[in-house]
Homo-oligomer: A and B are copies of this chain.
Amino acid sequence: MERLLALAKQAASRLPTSTPQQRCKFIQTTADLLIERCDLVVQANAADLAAAPQLTAALRDRLLLDAPRVHALAVATRQIAELPEVLGALVSSSERPNGLRVDRQRVPLGVIGIVYEARPNVTVDAALLAIKAGNAVILRGGTEARLTNAALASVVRDALTAAGLPADAMQIPALLDRALVDALVGRAGGLDLAIPRGGTALIEAVSKAARVPVIQHYQGVCHIYVDCDADLPMATAIVLNAKVARPGVCNAMEALLIDSAVAAQATPLLIAALTAAGVQVHGCGRTRALVGDLVVAATPADYGKEYLDLECLCAIVDGVQGACDHIARYGSRHTEAIVTNNPQTAEQFIAGVDASCVAVNASTRFNDGGCLGLGAEIGISTTKIHAYGPMGLEALTAVRFVVRGQGQVRT
């Protein structure tokens, strides 16, 4: 573990003075090698899948890296190369009354540790984004993806070498068990940042062991509030998109809140649309009074629950304040949405909810680095420190002060 960190720190010390051309060449070469070694990667992945028959269908799908997905990964990789440079970028520049020029400039964080589950695309995405911003990474993917990750690591490390960058800017040790992960994040002064991505248990375990900064990517209990001034066909389209398109993702809707002032009209429409799409709706008492035949009774456990499946809560609330109160109690600071044509109500909702992304008349699914214009993301932070919401390249840097004078002293 000490050796791992020492190699990463050494690589990290060389990256800030690398050129944008080197880092761009590294990313392009990664894409080229992914295509060139597609068969090797796919074979490694097939072996991983064969060795893990116990996985559920959803987990197998996450782990799967077949030829079309390798090609898609190469395309996504080339898009990362196109993203604007952040390393060294000036955030601001001003002159003080004493003539000092004060610049604020982006610098790398240093060494970033990312602990995640068996999702091979994260192996490539996370390494490329971190290195493009000038950081070294130590990755710990799920053990089920061991062979796939080894194949991908050799691609990334060979591309680093081809670009004249230190291969140890990306390390993904095969034998990093839970105790070693704890030791890695528990060493004060070791990593500059740890990012756990995965289930709540993983995030809590890393946070508990950590003596370095941690950015947590917790669950998404996303609500959509349909206001009395909503356009109901628009609300229906947004609710369906947010719940049904990809129910297993963190920005999917988990709870539908309907304004009591429009509930009699809106509830049957919305619930019929959801149930027709195969969604099981857990209804509050007021919902059941309106559409009792279409829903099952919600229990206390349904409030604040992240189903990640074709299920959701439906609760009737009293106006926008009722919606804000519900979200304050059950939300997870991820994504909250309102459907309304009343601009005052929209602003009241925006001011009244605390979430990394608040959406007005749009699907919760837009809380995503690509959709919000960041280009790519390394995850979605639900803590407010350092980054809140999708973390793009900028979130992988710090901003330092550079002061240029002509001999000024402080009086």
Interface residues of A (CB under 8 A from B): 13, 16-17, 94, 96, 100, 102, 107, 109-110, 188, 192-193, 204, 207-208, 211, 213-215, 231, 234, 237-238, 240-242, 245, 328, 346, 350-352, 354-363, 365-368, 371-373, 383-386, 388-390, 398-410
Contact = CB atoms under 8 A, between A and B. Distances in A.
A405 B341 CA distance: 11
A405 B237 CA distance: 13
Given A357-B400, A373-B94, A403-B357, A410 B17 contact: no
B405 A359 contact: yes
Contact of A404 (B211, B351, B360, B407): B360
Contacts of A404: 346, 359-362
Contact of A110 (B193, B384, B406): B384
19 contacts: A16-B354, A100-B366, A100-B371, A102-B372, A107-B388, A188-B204, A188-B207, A192-B385, A193-B384, A213-B214, A234-B407, A245-B410, A357-B403, A361-B405, A363-B409, A365-B410, A366-B408, A367-B403, A384-B398
A6 to B, nearest CB: 13
B403 A109 contact: no
A328 B352 CA distance: 46
Nearest to A363: B409
Contact of A366 (B371, B389, B403): B403
Identical copies of this chain, number: 2
Contact of A403 (B208, B358, B383): B358
Contacts of A389: 400-401
B17 A356 contact: no
Given A366-B408, A407-B361, A398 B385 contact: yes
Given A208-B211, A211-B207, A385-B398, A96 B403 contact: no
A366 B398 contact: no
A237 B407 contact: yes
A107 B367 CA distance: 17
Given A245-B410, A362-B408, A363-B410, A385 B100 contact: no
A347 to B, nearest CB: 10
A242 B403 CA distance: 15
B410 A13 contact: no
Contacts of A16: 351, 354
Nearest to A324: B13
A365 B410 CA distance: 6
A256 to B, nearest CB: 15
A324 to B, nearest CB: 10
Interface core residue of A96, A245, A389, A401 (most chain B CB under 10 Å): A401
A311 B383 CA distance: 42
B403 A359 contact: yes
A372 B409 contact: no
A192 B406 contact: no
A192 B351 CA distance: 19
A373 B99 CA distance: 12
B388 A399 contact: yes
Contacts of A245: 409-410
A109 B384 contact: yes
B366 A410 contact: yes
A18 to B, nearest CB: 11
Nearest to A357: B401
Given A110-B384, A390-B401, 20 more contacts: A100-B366, A102-B372, A107-B384, A109-B384, A192-B383, A213-B213, A215-B385, A238-B407, A241-B410, A357-B403, A361-B404, A362-B403, A362-B404, A366-B410, A384-B398, A385-B386, A385-B398, A386-B386, A388-B398, A389-B400
A363 B406 CA distance: 10
Nearest to A237: B409
A360 B405 contact: yes
Interface core residue of A358, A365, A389 (most chain B CB under 10 Å): A358
